[in-house]
A and B are shown apart, each in its own frame.
Chain A
Amino acid sequence: MSLRLLIVDDSRMSRLILQGLVLQAHPQWTIVHASSGEEALQLVREHPVDLVSMDFNMNGMNGLEAALELRKIQPGVPIAILTANVQTAVQARIEEAGMAFIAKPVTASAASQLAALAGA
């Protein structure tokens, strides 16, 4: 199964590590990167994606705001908020909004949880 995964994170290192882990397990996937919520929305407007990994604490729109906007452009797309902000209140808000919550650091386990969202 070939999927198009959008990784949104203001840390280039985090994007590259997640990309590496995902491609190890799913070498046929296509990975696209965005370094902000605004850039992610632009990318999705131009080309739909199958799965989104979204950081939470970013300059400009935060990850949840960006994810909610992204759902308006592409309803139903699975979105995981992959964040170091592991406060219970933040996790609850993310899950109430219908997004998956995955805690950083980016590990093989986090990458597996992300892939599972797409049924992979």
Chain B
Amino acid sequence: MTVQLDAEQIDALSEIFNIGVGKAAAAMGSLMHDEVLLSVPHVSIFTVSEAAQQLGATGSTMYGVRQPFRGAFNGDALLIFPGHKSLEIVRIVAGQSLPGEDLSAIEQDAMTEVGNVMLNACIAALSDLLGNEFQLSPPSIDIGDSRTILGTRIQNHLVVFLHIRFELLSSHIEGFVVFVLNTTSLEGLRAAVNRLLGRPAEVD
């Protein structure tokens, strides 16, 4: 299968993603009591191995909250933080509300909930823009290097890789929001983008 998105489709996808992550940043700002700065989104078609390199050096520990979605196209939305920042994030989110709680005991639960709020906001914006509802299962968390975070995909498989870097202004916590779509979902994605662009359906 030829994996192609033309410049206009990539531009549209970047903008959709930008709006989605903008909504997610608003949700995260509310949760973290901070302003969230966003980079320009990037849309690329990579092998899994190349995508892992984009996320950081092999061996560095990260937290990755995974939100699978199914609909007109399928994939995983991921919220990725450096591992050494996790307790700080939990303290910011829950410290005031849960005085006396052992925050390390709820660390994974809290990180999952941060991802849940942020990724769902992003997926909802995509859903509303594209006119497709996505079915969501509960999020899960992975801890490990970038290859672990990207999951058990075969390293030389191609994926549509959308990523945006964010930074929390006061606490200087950085992370990524990443959407990984298997190329089998590319036709659905391309059709949804074409509808948004007002293009006729493509005929192979």
Which A residues are closer than 8 A to B by beta carbons?
Answer: 10-14, 16-17, 20-21, 57-59, 83-90, 104-105, 107
Are A89's CB and B127's CB within 8 A? yes
Q: Kindly list chain B residues whose C-beta atoms are within 8 Å of the C-beta of A59.
A: 137-138
Q: How many A-B residue contacts, CB cutoff 8 Å? A: 70
Which of A20, A58, A107 lies at the interface centre, i.e. has the most chain B CB atoms within 10 A of its CB?
A20
Are A84's CB and B116's CB within 8 A? yes
Are B98's CB and A57's CB within 8 A? no
Are A13's CB and B133's CB within 8 A? no
In-complex Cβ contact of A85 among B101, B109, B113, B120 (8 A): B120
Are A57's CB and B97's CB within 8 A? no
Q: Kindly list chain A residues whose C-beta atoms are within 8 Å of the C-beta of B6.
A: none
Identity of the chain B residue whose Cβ is nearest the Cβ of A9 in the assembled complex: B113
In-complex Cβ contact of A16 among B101, B127, B134 (8 A): B101
Judge whether B136 is part of the interface by a CB distance below 8 angstroms. yes
Query: How many residues on B have C-beta within 8 angstroms of the other chain's C-beta atoms?
Result: 28
Are B110's CB and A13's CB within 8 A? yes
Q: How far is the CB of A81 from chain B (nearest CB, A)?
A: 13
Q: Kindly list chain B residues whose C-beta atoms are within 8 Å of the C-beta of A12.
A: 106, 109
Which B residues are closer than 8 A to A by beta carbons?
Answer: 27, 30-31, 93-94, 97-98, 101, 106, 109-110, 112-113, 116-117, 119-121, 123-124, 127-128, 133-134, 136-139
Q: Kindly list chain B residues whose C-beta atoms are within 8 Å of the C-beta of A107.
A: 30
Are B128's CB and A87's CB within 8 A? yes
Are B133's CB and A90's CB within 8 A? yes
Q: Kindly list chain B residues whose C-beta atoms are within 8 Å of the C-beta of A83.
A: 120
Complex CA gap A87/B97 in Å reads 27
* A-B pairs with beta carbons under 8 Å apart, 16 shown: A11-B109, A11-B113, A11-B116, A13-B98, A13-B110, A16-B98, A16-B101, A20-B97, A20-B98, A21-B97, A83-B120, A84-B116, A85-B136, A87-B123, A87-B134, A107-B30
Q: Kindly list chain A residues whose C-beta atoms are within 8 Å of the C-beta of B109.
A: 11-13
Which of A11, A21, A84, A88 lies at the interface centre, i.e. has the most chain B CB atoms within 10 A of its CB?
A84
Identity of the chain B residue whose Cβ is nearest the Cβ of A86 in the assembled complex: B124
Complex CA gap A104/B139 in Å reads 15
Q: Kindly list chain B residues whose C-beta atoms are within 8 Å of the C-beta of A84.
A: 27, 116-117, 119-121
Identity of the chain A residue whose Cβ is nearest the Cβ of B116 in the assembled complex: A84
Known: A59-B138, A105-B27. A14 touches B113 (CB 8 A): yes
Which of A13, A104, A107 lies at the interface centre, i.e. has the most chain B CB atoms within 10 A of its CB?
A13
Identity of the chain A residue whose Cβ is nearest the Cβ of B123 in the assembled complex: A87
Are A17's CB and B120's CB within 8 A? no
Known: A14-B113, A105-B30. A86 touches B120 (CB 8 A): yes
Q: How far is the CB of B98 from chain A (nearest CB, A)?
A: 5
Complex CA gap A20/B100 in Å reads 12
Q: How far is the CB of B113 from chain A (nearest CB, A)?
A: 5
Are A85's CB and B124's CB within 8 A? yes
Known: A90-B133, A105-B30. A13 touches B127 (CB 8 A): no
Known: A11-B112, A104-B117. A57 touches B124 (CB 8 A): no
